[in-house]
A and B are shown apart, each in its own frame.
Chain A
Amino acid sequence: MTIELFLNGEHKKLTAQADLALSQVLQLECRGVNPGCGKGYCGCCTVLLNGKLTYSCQIPFFSVKNQSIMTVEGIQTSNIFSDILKGMKRAKLDICDYCAPARTLSFYSLLKRADRPNNQEIQEVLSSIHCSCTHIPLLNQAIFYSLEEKYTRLHG
């Protein structure tokens, strides 16, 4: 089936089997989707569906008709992306390349909605990707630095 949707801000028509998971279709379309388990367990297939963090392996392709989907490619020119990049660099985070796009998106969703997120919000974002091969405390540090970068950018 062919459906229309907004992928990274662009209006697109995608054709695929209706019962495929969104992640399976997206992994052919864009670089930043790396499905791992296909079962909503690892979080490596995270995308922003209408601005909300979503595991794309859990969403059937047919159900995203006319919805807006954002992958990491869609945020690469944003200021928040460069805040995240600087924050990670400052934290000396050697991020795992497999889930890096998903992590970046999760950071982005946090930084976008909050200037001073509380600990619970940070924990939520960190635990949305369920893998321990990048050290959690360092990721936490990277979030703090990214928030700082964002603050300096906005308030000097």
Chain B
Amino acid sequence: MNERYLKDKLLGKIRYPQNNTSKKILYIKLICSPIERGSIEELSWTEPFPKDYFLIKAKDIPGKNTIDFGDGSFPLLADEEVYYPYQPIALLVGPAPQVLKELEETVKLKINKKEILPEFNISEQEQCSYQREIRTSSSDGLENKSEIIWVEDYFEMEGQQHSSFPPAHSRCQNEGMVFNIHCITQWPWIIKKNVQQLLKLPKKMVKIRCYPCENHQESKIFHPVQTASFCALASFISKKNCLFQINPEDNYFYAPPKGKVGIYLKAACNHRGELLHLKLDFSLEGGAYPLWSKERVDRMCFFTSGVYHCRNLEIHGKMQRTTSMPTGLFPDGDLSSLLTSIELFSNIMAEECKMTPLEWKTVNLIKRGNGWFTGALLARNPSLDELIKAVVEPSDYQRKYSAYQYQNHLIKKDSSKKPQKSKGIALSLGCIANNFLTQQRDQSPATISMTLDQQGLSIELPAPPGHGQLYKIWSSMASEALSIDENNIRFDIYKSEENNPEGPSCFSRNVTIIHHQIKQCINQIAKKRFREPLPLFETRRFRRSRNWDDDNFKGHPYQHLSWGAAVVELELNHEDNSINIQQIYIVLESGKILLPSVASSVVNQAIGQSLQWIFKSTENYNPMGENTLPFNLQFLETSKEPKALDGLVQNILPAAIMQAIAQASCKNQHFLPVTPGNWERKK
């Protein structure tokens, strides 16, 4: 890493919305619903508020009281009814946070309880916000064949939650009724659109100043919109500058949690282990206001068979409304739960087919030329064989797997000889793609424009890139191709969002798409240079692939898929039920790695995130204590283009750890998080 850049970071030169606050700023405190569901009967206060203190209710909103994402929306402040615990109802605004706390106690809030929605349950049909059914073939012909092996199972995964900072604090500077909103976001356009609607303002009166959000797993789409809107509203009404700082004591979460996922799988294999038919029935928990239901359900449908080849599918997916906070969107959608379940299920299938997991996987791996059930062909070879080789050989997977199986066999034969410690090893595979599936206008495009004039080159981006170092890479790329000094290359993020709807077109911080667009623009400008007069202008607009029809689920939506494999070996101590991870091998094929140190740091974080997800209560597994976690990471660069990396580890590692626990404890794992109850031996 560039030393100066690192030094700047250490010295706190990277700014955030809450920095640079003037002493005259007003703070915001949320008044939230103390109960889960009910109708608001009264919101009043007994004594008049001191000067400069305000209470802002839904009724005070000049425009539309909605935060709208194109695919799902919710009210900024609850008006008549509350639908989930801690739903924001009003804003208390004033210059001293301590006084706000005191004032909160004088506010009288009366809510009449109402019946809550049914708990999350895969068989719940009524509370569906979206569902999709796909059937490419039926299993009727297979039902009565004796040589067919049928396997079925149910998995339930609780959602992950980002515990990372920085929280999406926001600040709004009111400059003569032009609202300058400072926030950490990658989707400035969504914020702009919502604030405009909320305050009924023309475009030019709302300006978004994005702060870098590197290193923190992205996908915090809805929090910044909400916090920025709180600030803008408070600033509009008070006519002052306002700051909203997220505070865990207000029960306003740092990052939205991911909801539960229930997955039922039923498969038919022949005696060679080939997957002939797969039935997937799943349900996602969407919270009180399901967001991106279509995107999330469709994404899961697309990856129904994981990294295995199967065209005979019956899929039924849906999203369920519950009485909880709207669930957030993670880089992988909800793929991590699905792929983890499929990997766990593949082990069970292998066992039923009397094969080792490696044999079963090898038979069924998706290969180049295989078709997706959507009719598209897999154009590039995913090199899954190579990935498997790269983890299986150094970890001595095959030998160890058989040895541990034999150990289990002996225990089964004579249960009095149960050792105090037992080991397990497991292999898992996974993939990830970025891009949104939707073809909605607001959500898919990303535009880059470039101008070369006497002053140099200026590059306009739709959003800040995933990492500050990318500016360096892009400017050296441009400087080399156009022979201009790097100091004469400027990046601008704010202008482009003035005009264009730039949505969350893809995950992985737009690197995959933006990098490619920048390259194309540079090449074009290089061609035109010296032939045409200055200024030269080039622009590239990314749109959803034409080969994809999301209504009929036909074609191929993803330009690039990234693949990965992991082997995990661990030891269970049956005395104190603790887990000791002994080795982790991870190999990822995520295209060209632009920034190796950033890539490995993303993987590092993802390992931490996965461990937190798997062992929610850290009593039996302490990631802090495991600071010598023995892990080996390798990137296989088989493509020249950068591909998605965020979220890939979460799609692979949990399955490997859970399968290893399953082997060590002789108990198949079906639930996440994993608690000692899932592996404990009966006394």
* A contact residues vs B (CB 8 Å cutoff): 16-17, 19-20, 24, 27-28, 30-39, 41-42, 44, 71-73, 76, 81, 84-85, 88-89, 92-101, 103-104, 123, 126-127, 131-140
A87, chain B: closest CB distance, angstroms: 11
B504, chain A: closest CB distance, angstroms: 20
- Nearest-neighbor residue (CB-CB) of A93 within chain B: B601
Contact digits for B216-258, partner A, Cβ 8 Å, 1 yes 0 no: 1100000000000000000000000000011111000000000
Of the A-B pairs whose beta carbons lie under 8 Å apart in the complex, a sample of 14, sorted by A's number, is A30-B12, A31-B15, A32-B11, A76-B11, A95-B6, A98-B166, A100-B9, A104-B11, A132-B623, A134-B601, A135-B604, A135-B608, A137-B604, A138-B604
Decide yes or no whether B628 CB sits under 8 A from chain A: yes
* B604 with A100: CB separation less than 8 A: no
In order of increasing CB-CB distance, the 10 nearest A-B pairs are A135-B604, A133-B164, A94-B601, A32-B12, A101-B12, A98-B166, A31-B12, A140-B627, A97-B14, A92-B597
* A37 with B14: CB separation less than 8 A: no
A61, chain B: closest CB distance, angstroms: 11
By a CB distance below 8 angstroms, the chain A residues around B96 are 17, 19-20
Decide yes or no whether B23 CB sits under 8 A from chain A: yes
Query: Of A71, A85, A135, which is within 8 A of B601 by CB?
Result: A135
Most buried by B among A71, A98, A100: A98
Q: Please, how many angstroms separate the alpha-carbon atoms of A71 and B96 in the complex?
A: 24
Decide yes or no whether B126 CB sits under 8 A from chain A: no
Decide yes or no whether B214 CB sits under 8 A from chain A: yes
Q: Please, how many angstroms separate the alpha-carbon atoms of A137 and B600 in the complex?
A: 12
Q: Please, how many angstroms separate the alpha-carbon atoms of A64 and B1 in the complex?
A: 38
* B1 with A89: CB separation less than 8 A: yes
- Nearest-neighbor residue (CB-CB) of A71 within chain B: B12
- Report the interface size class on chain B: 35 or more
Total inter-chain residue pairs, C-beta < 8 Å = 154
Given contacts A20-B96, A85-B10, A97-B214, 16 further A-B contacts (CB under 8 A): A28-B21, A31-B11, A34-B12, A73-B12, A85-B3, A88-B6, A92-B596, A92-B601, A95-B9, A98-B16, A98-B166, A100-B9, A132-B605, A133-B217, A135-B601, A136-B627
Main secondary structure of the interface of A (DSSP, over half): loop
* A27 with B248: CB separation less than 8 A: no
Query: Of B165, B245, B247, B626, which is within 8 A of A99 by CB?
Result: B165
Q: Please, how many angstroms separate the alpha-carbon atoms of A80 and B682 in the complex?
A: 54
* A137 with B626: CB separation less than 8 A: yes
By a CB distance below 8 angstroms, the chain A residues around B628 are 137, 140
* B contact residues vs A (CB 8 Å cutoff): 1, 3, 6-7, 9-16, 18-19, 21-23, 96-98, 162-167, 212, 214-217, 245-249, 596-598, 600-601, 604-605, 607-609, 612, 623-629
Main secondary structure of the interface of B (DSSP, over half): loop
By a CB distance below 8 angstroms, the chain A residues around B612 are 132
- Nearest-neighbor residue (CB-CB) of A86 within chain B: B3
* B19 with A37: CB separation less than 8 A: no
* A131 with B624: CB separation less than 8 A: no
Q: Please, how many angstroms separate the alpha-carbon atoms of A135 and B606 in the complex?
A: 9
Q: Please, how many angstroms separate the alpha-carbon atoms of A32 and B96 in the complex?
A: 23
Given known pairs A31-B11, A133-B216, A137-B626, the reply for A37 and B248 (CB within 8 Å) is yes
By a CB distance below 8 angstroms, the chain B residues around A31 are 11-13, 15, 19
Q: Please, how many angstroms separate the alpha-carbon atoms of A154 and B607 in the complex?
A: 36
By a CB distance below 8 angstroms, the chain A residues around B623 are 132, 136
* A39 with B23: CB separation less than 8 A: no
Given known pairs A95-B9, A97-B214, the reply for A34 and B624 (CB within 8 Å) is no
- Nearest-neighbor residue (CB-CB) of B246 within chain A: A37
By a CB distance below 8 angstroms, the chain A residues around B23 are 16, 28
- Nearest-neighbor residue (CB-CB) of A99 within chain B: B165
Given known pairs A94-B598, A135-B604, A136-B608, the reply for A36 and B9 (CB within 8 Å) is no
Given known pairs A27-B21, A135-B604, the reply for A95 and B13 (CB within 8 Å) is no
* A137 with B627: CB separation less than 8 A: yes
Query: Of B11, B19, B165, B167, which is within 8 A of A27 by CB?
Result: B19
By a CB distance below 8 angstroms, the chain B residues around A32 are 11-12
Q: Please, how many angstroms separate the alpha-carbon atoms of A34 and B184 in the complex?
A: 14
Query: Of B19, B164, B609, which is within 8 A of A34 by CB?
Result: B19
Q: Please, how many angstroms separate the alpha-carbon atoms of A126 and B624 in the complex?
A: 8
Given known pairs A27-B18, A34-B12, A96-B215, the reply for A126 and B163 (CB within 8 Å) is no
* B212 with A97: CB separation less than 8 A: yes
Q: Please, how many angstroms separate the alpha-carbon atoms of A140 and B601 in the complex?
A: 14
